[in-house]
Amino acid sequence: MKNTVATVREAKGHEKLVMLTAYDYSVARIMDKAGVNALLVGDSLGMVMLGYPDTLSVTMDDMVRHCAAVARGAQKALVVCDMPYMSCHISPAETVRNAGRLVAEGHAQAVKLEGGADFVADIRALVRASIPVMGHLGLTPQSVNAFGGFKVQGKTKEDAQRLLDDARAVEAAGAFALTLECVPAPLAERITRELAIPVIGIGAGAACDGQVLVWQDMAGLGDRQVPRFVKGFGKLGECLFDAVSTYAREVRNGIFPGPDQCYPLPESLDEVIRQLK
Ligand code: KIV
């Protein structure tokens, strides 16, 4: 069954939602085949694909290109694309124009936007333009400088109240789902209970309606320090290292390519080759 914003919304209370980031065609195909509900073309691509220290340098062109690649690989998963830094901060009109590019050129089926009550006008404008919106609250990485680092959010009474109010505002503005990042589990549980739309957690405990992780963290690819909330479900980095090391050894020792990897010549042409000048 094809996942849509409607099926994602209807899953609340019945079925846990599975979301992973994806940034390219071949990985999207594998995840789609494995049955994830939604593929998030996250602006985390700036960090895990492009090597930036944060997400702030990611451009609209980066997102359009990667989203289109993911969309070509996704048959059943819902494709959600992040609105990068400064693409939704100027005015609702500019937000709609940029989101429209993600849909028309990147073939996203929904966009994700970081921020709460301050972004209600943008969310409303997107919904009016028939562009489904996933909200994103808690540790919103585009606010890393304002937060003073990648830190757990909602740890004081005031912050927790603000997060709950923001979640209500995002839902009331018409978002079909909410990503909640790096907040204490009891607060995430309260927000999940309070909202009628699904809450997809990352570092927000088990009570959320679904979970999302950056795929390289989930699969154990890369050597960056992963946050506490990540669980490694594979050792892709080690597998790739072993494969590359074996390949290099075989090339250097003349083992690869072997007879199986070479194209033979019809016997009748052997003599012709020998006689070439
Ligand atoms: O950009 C991203 O990958 C995200 C997830 C961490 C939720 O926003």
Please report the atom of ligand 1 found closest to the CA of residue 43.
1
Residues 89-129: tens digit of each pLDDT: 999 999 999 999 999 999 999 999 999 999 999 999 999 99
Indicate the top mutation candidate among 21, 70, 139, 150 to test ligand 1's pocket, ranked by most ligand atoms within 8 A of CB.
21
Kindly report the pTM of this predicted structure.
Answer: 0.96
Same domain, 222 and 109: yes
CB-CB neighbours of 51 under 10 Å: 8
Domain range for 89 is 5-234
Selecting among 114, 171, 181, 189, the annotated active-site residue is: 181
**Side-chain-side CA neighbours of residue 61 (13 Å):** 1
Same domain, 24 and 132: yes
**Contact (Cβ atoms closer than 8 angstroms) between residue 85 and residue 142:** yes
User: What's the residue count for the chain?
Assistant: 277
Indicate the top mutation candidate among 112, 137, 139 to test ligand 1's pocket, ranked by most ligand atoms within 8 A of CB.
112
**Side-chain-side CA neighbours of residue 85 (13 Å):** 16
Same domain, 133 and 50: yes
Which residue CA neighbors atom 4 of ligand 1 most closely? Answer: 42
Q: What is the mean pLDDT of residues 24-49?
A: 98
Same domain, 124 and 30: yes
What residues have CB less than 8 Å from 24, skipping those under 6 apart? 66, 69, 70, 73
Q: Pick the range with the lowest mean pLDDT from 57-66, 152-161, 225-234, 247-256.
A: 225-234
Same domain, 155 and 255: no
Which residue CA neighbors atom 2 of ligand 1 most closely? Answer: 42
Please give the share of the chain, as a percent, with pLDDT higher than 70: 100
Residue 251 CA, ligand 1 centroid: distance in Å: 39
Q: Is 250 a catalytic residue?
A: no
Handedness of CA 163, 11, 17, 23 (dihedral sign): negative
Please give the share of the chain, as a percent, with pLDDT higher than 90: 93
> Which residues on adjacent β-strands are paired with residue 212?
19
pLDDT on residue 60: 98
Residue 49 CA, ligand 1 centroid: distance in Å: 13
- Does residue 239 surpass a pLDDT of 90? yes
Q: Pick the range with the lowest mean pLDDT from 78-82, 234-238, 254-258, 265-269.
A: 265-269
pLDDT on residue 222: 81
Mean pLDDT value across the chain:
97
Same domain, 23 and 117: yes
Same domain, 130 and 245: no
Same domain, 223 and 248: no
Same domain, 128 and 24: yes
Residue 139 CA, ligand 1 centroid: distance in Å: 10
- Does residue 165 surpass a pLDDT of 80? yes
Phi-psi region of 121 (alpha: psi -120 to 50; beta: other; left: phi over 0): alpha
Same domain, 150 and 101: yes
Which residue CA neighbors atom 8 of ligand 1 most closely? Answer: 42
- Does residue 272 surpass a pLDDT of 90? no
Query: Structurally, how many domains does the chain consist of?
Result: 2
Residues 146-161: tens digit of each pLDDT: 999 999 999 999 999 9
Same domain, 216 and 244: no
Residue 82 CA, ligand 1 centroid: distance in Å: 8
CATH of the domain at 92: 3.20.20.60
Residues 45-85: tens digit of each pLDDT: 999 999 999 999 999 999 999 999 999 999 999 999 999 99
- Does residue 224 surpass a pLDDT of 80? no
- Does residue 216 surpass a pLDDT of 90? yes
Task: Using alpha carbons, select from 112, 211, 212 the residue that is nearest to residue 170.
Answer: 112
Indicate the top mutation candidate among 142, 178, 182, 212 to test ligand 1's pocket, ranked by most ligand atoms within 8 A of CB.
212
Same domain, 210 and 249: no
Token code pair at residue 166: 């923001």
